[in-house]
Amino acid sequence: MVFNSSLDFAMNIHEYQAKQLLARYGVAVPLEIPAKSLAEVRPAADKIVASGSSRVVVKSQIHAGGRGKGTFKSGFQGGVKVAGSVDEAVSFAEKMLGNVLVTKQTGTEGRKVQTLLISEGCKIKKEFYLAVLLDRANSRPLIMASTEGGMDIEEVAEKFPEKIFKESIDPAVGIMPFQARKISAALGLKGDLFNAGVKLITGVYNTWWECDASMVELNPLAVVELRDGKETVMALDAKISLDDNALYRHKDILEMRDLNEEAPLEIEASKFSLNYIKLDGSIACLVNGAGLAMATMDIIQHCGSSPANFLDVGGGASKEQVTAAFKIILSDPNVKGILVNIFGGIMDCNVIATGIVAAVKETGLKLPLVVRLEGNNVVAGKKTLAESGVAIITGDSMADAAQKIVKAVSK
Amino acid sequence: MSILVTSNTKVLVQGITGSFGAKHAQLSIDYGTQVVAGVTPGKGGQFFEHGGKKVPIFDTVADAVKQTGATASAIFVPPPFAADAILEGADAGLELVVAITEGIPVRDMVRVKRAMEGNTKTRLIGPNCPGVVTPGEGKDSHGGCRIGIAPGYIHKKGNIGVVSRSGTLTYEAVWQLTSRGVGQSTCVGIGGDPVNGTSHLDVIKLFNDDPETHGIIMIGEIGGSAEEEAAEWIKKHCKKPVAGFIAGATAPPGRRMGHAGAIVSGGKGTAEAKIAAFKAAGIGIAVTPSEMADTLLKMM
């Protein structure tokens, strides 16, 4: 059993977008309006008040949790604020929109808030947790529910595993009504709320399945008191991440992608079919294959340094790709040296060597560079590197190459 | 012997007329693999020609199997059509379906896994995998069975089984063995996706039962718990020495490292936990990826 509650699993969307998807499948959500500029905030807040809500909630939309307890770099406290009037909502919005919010999940650099969600204030009676994800143990969808809403679910799972209710779904038939009833009962819902829970749980599962989501998470799912005194269940906060590989069949969801939330270097890398992830170390690596790339990071650490990135060039490694990769690597100021590790099974090592030499010349590389080449036509490849006139240190094995780059950088 | 495939296995290629499928069908033919059929819907009756061989193309896998007696398939079709291709192979009664295709939606694989539940005839390997190689007796292991995209010449016929989720890391291990003069019985890449057909454990069981396999290298990576499950079984049942390496010890939690399945989340699937499980099972730990072959050879 694995929680996929990470920030970077597949494509993430904002809370307001997640709720738009959920609403399509019959999941109840509060009355709320996204605002991308200050000019949009007042009319949105006016509508909320006109609906009869005495309070207006202003929620920062970033792809990171812990928003309520976050702090803006300006010093303003809280990425989610409850206003008692339209004017107060607008004054909160002025302090949030366009400012950088730091939460426990954003890192110290924080994220710039570019959208606010203006929502009605709900009177919360109870909070629950509900999620749908893939259970890797049996390759089936799994619904998880807990009465401990609003908390860190991984902490609940560790301390009170008995408080997490799990229901495995047979993908051949989808969620059956009795399964939604079991979950609604496990949450302690009764009467009309029980039936509302069944409808909501079914809708959440259908959202996961129909949208090709990796995870749908409601935290909290809440019992709220409506203004007429009746109670119902609603998705008060929602997080959805989607399977990258399935986006080709969801053009509408693909449009929800917000490049502002992604690391610029990673976006640049993806343009060249490079899979790049920035890390905190000082030795950059350029490798073909995800497994070998991870192993190269590991061996750098084993040799006493730390990797500056994960970078998989895939099966190709053309001159254009290697040059692009070097440029991306070199834009990280922490990088002190580069390790290239290529196992050229099918591709010609000499072609790769030529690409590396060209990339070094084009980027005017000054940092130490160790290249380990192995595989098809490797002798010619090593000759090309040796005769290039470029300062390239060659490594004979992964261990040899890693030791050499760590030594070169520590000089 | 070997596991899964031998030099005599008749192989068909689904997606043989696409550029990726065609290139690797050619390399398999060059390696001496019995490529007996191709399948591309709408191109039935044509031929795939390479190196003096004329491989007939069929519209359906069922036809190809009936006409040629193929028992194994390599799938190179694009992701949107891959689930259909896998189930077509299973429907035709193939013994082995190897899905090379990368980027198949998880939901499609969830449905495929469900549809293949209880199917004892067809084994699925992959998707998103380098495939299977049983090295042959000839020069540079020529004459073996190569299904997928692995470089054939790095292999050598022998008695070590290799199983891994990753392609290039498999080649690394195979090359370390071959350059030390040690050959392989069969090398299996099971793929880096979170939902796949054959697990580490499935392959370990096959190696354990294969009299020609004398030792095993198992390469894992962060994410999921397949390595732990294999280790648990090895501890109780495996009669052969096993050496292992786990990639991803330096990967930060919550980041997906290239392979869709390679992610540490909620403190689960860490390299530390997997290495601990390996140690508890008596599996030799390669501390660095450079020592995979040496770690096993020291145990034998």
Q: Which residue has the higher pLDDT, B252 or A57?
A: A57
Does B290 score more than 70 pLDDT? Answer: yes
Does A17 score more than 90 pLDDT? Answer: yes
Predicted local confidence at residue A258, as pLDDT: 93
If you count them, how many residues does chain A have?
A: 411
Q: Searching chain A, which residue's CA lies closest to the CA of residue B175?
A: A375
Buried b vs exposed e over A237-265: b needs ≥16 C-beta within 10 Å?
bbbbbbbbbbbeebeebeebebeebeeeb
Residue A273 pLDDT grade (very low, low, confident, very high; cuts 50, 70, 90): confident
A9/B263 CB distance under 8 A? yes
Q: How far is CA B62 from CA A149, B39, B88, in A?
A: 52, 10, 8
Q: What angle is formed at CA A291 by the lines to CA A373 and CA B234, rounded to 5 degrees?
A: 120
Q: What tens digit of pLDDT does each residue of A309-340 get? A: 999 987 666 778 888 999 999 999 999 999 99
First to last CA, chain B: 20
Report percent pLDDT > 90 for chain B: 90
Predicted local confidence at residue A4, as pLDDT: 31
Bridge-partner residues for A12, per DSSP? A241
Does A411 score more than 90 pLDDT? Answer: no
Residue numbers in A near B86 (CB within 8 A): none
Token pair recorded at residue B272: 């530390």
Residue A6 pLDDT grade (very low, low, confident, very high; cuts 50, 70, 90): very low
Q: Å from A355 to nearest chain B CA?
A: 20
Give the number of beta-carbon pairs within 8 Å between A and B: 192
Does A23 score more than 60 pLDDT? Answer: yes
User: What are the φ/ψ torsions at residue B246 (nearest 5 degrees)?
Assistant: -115, 120
Same domain, A103 and A21: no
User: What are the φ/ψ torsions at residue B250 (nearest 5 degrees)?
Assistant: -95, 0
Residue among B192, B255, B288 whose CB faces A399 most closely:
B288
Q: Is A10 on the interface with B (CB under 8 A)?
A: yes
Predicted local confidence at residue A227, as pLDDT: 86
This model of the complex carries an ipTM of 0.92
Same domain, A239 and A251: yes
Alpha-carbon span A75 to B102, nearest angstrom: 46
Helix (H) or strand (E) holding B174: helix B167-179
Tally of helices (H runs) and strands (E runs) in chain A: 13, 20
Residue B252 pLDDT grade (very low, low, confident, very high; cuts 50, 70, 90): confident
Residue among B27, B172, B268 whose CB faces A2 most closely:
B268
Q: Give every CB contact of residue B145 below 8 A, 6+ residues apart in sequence.
A: B5, B6, B7, B8, B9, B11, B33, B34, B72, B132, B133, B134, B136
Residue among A9, A287, A345 whose CB faces B150 most closely:
A345
Q: Cβ(A308)–Cβ(A254) under 8 Å?
A: no
Q: Which of residues 5-24 of B touch A (CB under 8 A)?
A: none
Does A197 score more than 90 pLDDT? Answer: yes
Q: Which of A9, A136, A296, A400 to mutate to test the interface with B (most CBs of B within 10 A)?
A: A136
- The domain boundary residue, chosen from A59, A92, A121: A121
User: What are the φ/ψ torsions at residue A49 (nearest 5 degrees)?
Assistant: -65, -40
Query: What CATH homologous superfamily does B156-299 map to?
Result: Succinyl-CoA synthetase domains (3.40.50.261)
Q: Å from A398 to nearest chain B CA?
A: 6
Helix (H, G, I), strand (E, B) or coil at A5: coil
Angle, in degrees to the nearest 10, between helices A290-302 and B167-179? 70
Q: Which of residues 74-93 of B touch A (CB under 8 A)?
A: 79-80
Alpha-carbon span B75 to B20, nearest angstrom: 10
Alpha-carbon span A107 to B147, nearest angstrom: 45
B261/A310 CB distance under 8 A? no
Tell me which of B24, B142, B155, B259 is the catalytic residue. B259
Q: Cβ(A119)–Cβ(A31) under 8 Å?
A: yes
Alpha-carbon span B162 to B204, nearest angstrom: 9
Residue A389 burial by Cβ neighbours in a 10 Å radius (0-12, 13-18, 19+): exposed
Residue B260 pLDDT grade (very low, low, confident, very high; cuts 50, 70, 90): low
Alpha-carbon span A299 to B76, nearest angstrom: 33
Token pair recorded at residue B64: 């190809």
Same domain, A197 and A100: no
Does A376 score more than 90 pLDDT? Answer: no
Token pair recorded at residue B34: 């019995």
Q: Is B224 on the interface with A (CB under 8 A)?
A: yes
- The domain boundary residue, chosen from A205, A236, A262: A262
Beta pairing, strands A393-394 & B10-14: unpaired
Residue numbers in A near B289 (CB within 8 A): 292, 295-296, 298-299, 398
Residue A270 is part of a domain; what is its CATH number?
Answer: 3.40.50.261
A294/B151 CB distance under 8 A? no
A230-234: long-range contacts (C-beta < 8 A, 24 or more apart)? Answer: A230/A192, A231/A125, A231/A192, A231/A193, A232/A28, A232/A192, A232/A193, A232/A196, A233/A28, A233/A189, A233/A193, A233/A196, A233/A197, A233/A200, A234/A28, A234/A29, A234/A30, A234/A122, A234/A200
A291/B168 CB distance under 8 A? yes
A277/B103 CB distance under 8 A? no
Alpha-carbon span A157 to A319, nearest angstrom: 48
Q: Which residue has the higher pLDDT, B209 or A266?
A: B209
A52: domain range? 31-121
Q: How far is CA B267 from CA A18, A145, A155, A301, B61, in A?
A: 26, 20, 11, 20, 43
Token pair recorded at residue B27: 């390399």
A279/B265 CB distance under 8 A? no
Residue A84 is part of a domain; what is its CATH number?
Answer: 3.30.1490.20
Alpha-carbon span A172 to B268, nearest angstrom: 28
According to CATH, where is 3.40.50.720 located in chain B?
A: 10-125
Residue numbers in A near B80 (CB within 8 A): 248-249
Q: How many CB atoms lie within 10 A of CB B240?
A: 18
B250/A397 CB distance under 8 A? no
Q: Is B193 on the interface with A (CB under 8 A)?
A: no
Q: Which of residues 156-175 of A touch B (CB under 8 A)?
A: 157, 170-172
Residue among A5, A246, A398 whose CB faces B289 most closely:
A398
Same domain, A205 and A333: no
Q: How far is CA B31 from CA A363, A397, B8, B22, B28, in A?
A: 40, 26, 13, 14, 5
Same domain, A116 and A131: no
Same domain, A176 and A199: yes
Alpha-carbon span B112 to B121, nearest angstrom: 15
Same domain, A396 and A307: yes
If you count them, how many residues does chain B have?
A: 300
Which residue do the tokens 């500029």 mark?
Answer: A37
Does A81 score more than 60 pLDDT? Answer: yes
Q: What tens digit of pLDDT does each residue of A231-249 get? A: 999 999 999 999 999 999 9
Q: Cβ(B44)–Cβ(B75) under 8 Å?
A: no
Given 3.40.50.720, 1.10.10.10, 3.90.1150.10, 3.40.50.150, which CATH number is that of B10-125? 3.40.50.720
Q: What tens digit of pLDDT does each residue of B2-31 get? A: 999 999 999 999 999 999 999 999 999 999
Q: Is A23 on the interface with B (CB under 8 A)?
A: no
Residue among A7, A140, A290 whose CB faces B110 most closely:
A140
Q: Is A5 on the interface with B (CB under 8 A)?
A: yes
Same domain, A129 and A69: no
B288/A298 CB distance under 8 A? yes
A312/B258 CB distance under 8 A? yes
Q: Is B154 on the interface with A (CB under 8 A)?
A: yes
Q: Closest Cα to residue B15, out of B35, B41, B49, B34?
A: B41
Predicted local confidence at residue B264, as pLDDT: 66
- The domain boundary residue, chosen from A211, A233, A262: A262
Token pair recorded at residue B170: 């498999």
Indicate the number of domains in chain A.
3
Does B257 score more than 80 pLDDT? Answer: no
> Average pLDDT in the B44-70 region?
97
Does A270 score more than 90 pLDDT? Answer: no
Predicted local confidence at residue A7, as pLDDT: 30
> Is B155 a known active-site residue?
no
A291/B251 CB distance under 8 A? no
Q: Is B174 on the interface with A (CB under 8 A)?
A: no
Same domain, A45 and A100: yes
Q: Which residue has the higher pLDDT, B213 or A6?
A: B213
> Is A129 a known active-site residue?
yes
Residue B211 burial by Cβ neighbours in a 10 Å radius (0-12, 13-18, 19+): exposed
Same domain, A22 and A146: yes
Residue among B79, B111, B263 whose CB faces A171 most closely:
B111
Task: Name the residue type at position A254.
Answer: L
Alpha-carbon span A334 to B291, nearest angstrom: 29
Tell me which of A148, A217, A261, A374 is the catalytic residue. A217
pTM assigned to the model: 0.93
Same domain, A243 and A268: no
Predicted local confidence at residue A316, as pLDDT: 65
Q: Closest Cα to residue B242, out of B199, B276, B283?
A: B283
Does A38 score more than 90 pLDDT? Answer: yes
Predicted local confidence at residue A322, as pLDDT: 87
Same domain, A403 and A324: yes
According to CATH, where is 3.40.50.261 located in chain B?
A: 156-299
Task: Name the residue type at position A117.
Answer: L
Residue among A137, A300, A302 whose CB faces B225 most closely:
A137
Predicted local confidence at residue A149, as pLDDT: 85
Q: Is B225 on the interface with A (CB under 8 A)?
A: yes
Q: Which residue has the higher pLDDT, B138 or B268?
A: B138
Q: Is B105 on the interface with A (CB under 8 A)?
A: yes
Q: Is B1 on the interface with A (CB under 8 A)?
A: no
Largest CA-CA distance found in chain B, in angstroms, rounded:
56
